[in-house]
Chain A
Amino acid sequence: MNGPQDLGGQMGFGPVAPEVDEPLFHADWERRVLAITLACAALGHWTIDESRHARESLPPADYLYFSYYRIWFEALTHLLARHGEVSTQELASGHALAPPVRAQRCLSAAEVPGVLSRGGPSARDPLGPALFARGQRVRARNLHAEGHTRLPRYARGRIGHIEAVHGAHVFPDANAHGGGEAPQWLYTVIFDGQALWGPDTDPTLSVRIDAWESYLEPA
């Protein structure tokens, strides 16, 4: 979606201002949000793609204003409501008012190391041959998906080259919306900085994205 999360190339946000000796968390609630988010993911109601979409679907002004763990928290409450685990009435009352759906999937402390160290690989067996080869000229399609997508606006319509072919990976645009994994070939595409940002751009700049096959067309 052309949402607030698609920040590449936007202007006016000011300097980066890295914090010296930044702590891992800035408040105790942040560490709880991290842990609750990961524990709830283990219930298996949603995919990582659906959770990313829940975050980018926050009202744009909120998305830009909130701290990142607040974005996670707000999105998590939407996901838990969507999947029938926690209602807005329960959040208002601060207590459970209805039975859970998937308590049998509750992540135990003993399972935490295994779950975190396994992760969730996205590579899948390809369903057919790759359409593009290393070195080939491609154009990022001028797509404006209303749902989740991982093709940034700044690359759309621009011409680059295939730099690497990575095998097939779960396709987020489908997987975020209950459409299944629908794996596609994934490529690293390199763009000249001036192709993206115009002739005044630093000539030493190149930018790479990882693009699923349906994001690309021959050029």
Chain B
Amino acid sequence: MHDHIETSETEEMTARVRALETILVEKCLVDPASLDAIIETYSEHVGPQNGAAVVARAWSDPAFADWLARDATAAIHSLGFTGRQGEHMQALFNTPDSHNLVVCTLCSCYPWATLGLPPVWYKSPPYRARAVRDPRGVLAEFGVDLPAETRIHVWDSTAELRYLVIPMRPAGTEGWSEGKLATCVSRNAMIGTGLAARP
């Protein structure tokens, strides 16, 4: 797989995708307005800001954190983050002595409802191949260096359960609002390839 899309592939795929869309629209199998609505949903409304709100709530509200630990599906859905690739959720809480990392070695399963669409690296062979065997090596490529004694828990998303990592709350954020806390929470921190940090 390429790091960048070559011009020739772009031209070829642009033409082929346009042809397929034309055929499907001519046959009334897809509605162009629906395609625009789907793209808008995942460009504007469903993204890692949703997951960051879940984490910020968990950091702020011990009752919510407890609910999230017991029944992540209900707790997350209560914030309105429902739907495709978020139907069955489990929250994985990082602690000072354990770190969680999420992968899908078999395809690209990812918690869309809380994180949006996955980045290219998450779907690509280097990450899918190594995350289960050499997670510390992978983490080093993201600039994450954990103590040698930290337990590494890798979760391979082989079914329809989707995993959301709840990173540890950064020091020095006492008294912060949920909105401000959410700015500490990157997408990668919720996959496990990053840590939460003061912005």
Q: Which residues of A contact B (CB under 8 A)?
A: 5-11, 13-19, 22, 24, 26-29, 31-36, 38-40, 43, 52, 55-56, 64-68, 70, 73, 76-77, 80, 85-86, 90-91, 94-96, 99-100, 102-103, 106-109, 111-113, 116-123, 150-152, 154, 166, 169-170, 172, 186, 188, 193, 196-197, 201-202, 204-212
Taking CB atoms, residues of chain B closer than 8 Å to A152 are 105-106, 156, 158
Q: Are B154 and A100 in contact (CB under 8 A)?
A: no
Taking CB atoms, residues of chain B closer than 8 Å to A208 are 153-156
Choice from A66, A90, A151, A212 contacting B1 with Cβ under 8 Å: A66
List residues 141-183 of chain B with CB under 8 A from any CB of chain A.
Answer: 141-142, 148-161
Rounded to whole angstroms, the CA-CA distance of A172 and B169 in the bound complex is 37
Taking CB atoms, residues of chain A closer than 8 Å to B33 are 108-109
B127 to chain A, nearest CB (A): 5
Q: Are A7 and B105 in contact (CB under 8 A)?
A: yes
Rounded to whole angstroms, the CA-CA distance of A64 and B1 in the bound complex is 6
Q: Are B159 and A122 in contact (CB under 8 A)?
A: yes
Choice from A65, A73, A204 contacting B150 with Cβ under 8 Å: A204
Known pairs A16-B142, A166-B161, A204-B151; A27 contacts B126 (CB<8 A):
no
Rounded to whole angstroms, the CA-CA distance of A86 and B133 in the bound complex is 41
Taking CB atoms, residues of chain A closer than 8 Å to B154 are 205-208
User: What's the tally of chain B residues with a CB closer than 8 Å to chain A?
Assistant: 86
A154 to chain B, nearest CB (A): 7
Taking CB atoms, residues of chain A closer than 8 Å to B19 are 91, 94
Top-10 shortest CB links A-B = A8-B105, A210-B159, A35-B35, A109-B33, A100-B27, A96-B26, A122-B160, A112-B37, A94-B19, A117-B83
The residue in chain B whose Cβ has the minimal distance to the Cβ of A77 is: B20
List, sorted by A's number, 5 A–B pairs whose CB atoms are closer than 8 Å. Answer: A8-B105, A19-B119, A24-B116, A112-B41, A211-B159
Question: Which of A109, A170, A201, A212 gathers most chain B CB within 10 Å?
Answer: A109
A9 to chain B, nearest CB (A): 5
Rounded to whole angstroms, the CA-CA distance of A46 and B158 in the bound complex is 19
Question: Which of B9, B34, B129 gathers most chain A CB within 10 Å?
Answer: B34
Q: Are A15 and B38 in contact (CB under 8 A)?
A: no
A92 to chain B, nearest CB (A): 9
Rounded to whole angstroms, the CA-CA distance of A119 and B149 in the bound complex is 40
Check: B108 CB closer than 8 A to any chain A CB: yes
Check: B130 CB closer than 8 A to any chain A CB: yes
Rounded to whole angstroms, the CA-CA distance of A193 and B36 in the bound complex is 44
Q: Are B38 and A34 in contact (CB under 8 A)?
A: yes
Taking CB atoms, residues of chain A closer than 8 Å to B148 are 204
Rounded to whole angstroms, the CA-CA distance of A20 and B105 in the bound complex is 23
Choice from A6, A10, A19 contacting B3 with Cβ under 8 Å: A19
Q: Are B35 and A151 in contact (CB under 8 A)?
A: no
The residue in chain B whose Cβ has the minimal distance to the Cβ of A49 is: B160
Choice from A31, A94, A122, A206 contacting B152 with Cβ under 8 Å: A206
Q: Are B129 and A9 in contact (CB under 8 A)?
A: yes
Q: Are A100 and B28 in contact (CB under 8 A)?
A: yes
Rounded to whole angstroms, the CA-CA distance of A79 and B106 in the bound complex is 19
Q: Are B158 and A106 in contact (CB under 8 A)?
A: no
Q: Are A17 and B17 in contact (CB under 8 A)?
A: no
Taking CB atoms, residues of chain A closer than 8 Å to B35 are 32, 35-36, 39
The residue in chain B whose Cβ has the minimal distance to the Cβ of A97 is: B23
Q: Are A68 and B108 in contact (CB under 8 A)?
A: yes
Q: Are B132 and A154 in contact (CB under 8 A)?
A: yes
A100 to chain B, nearest CB (A): 4
Known pairs A24-B43, A35-B38; A10 contacts B129 (CB<8 A):
yes
Check: B79 CB closer than 8 A to any chain A CB: no
Q: Are B126 and A95 in contact (CB under 8 A)?
A: no
Known pairs A121-B87, A186-B159, A205-B154; A9 contacts B27 (CB<8 A):
no
Q: Are B2 and A67 in contact (CB under 8 A)?
A: yes
The residue in chain B whose Cβ has the minimal distance to the Cβ of A148 is: B106
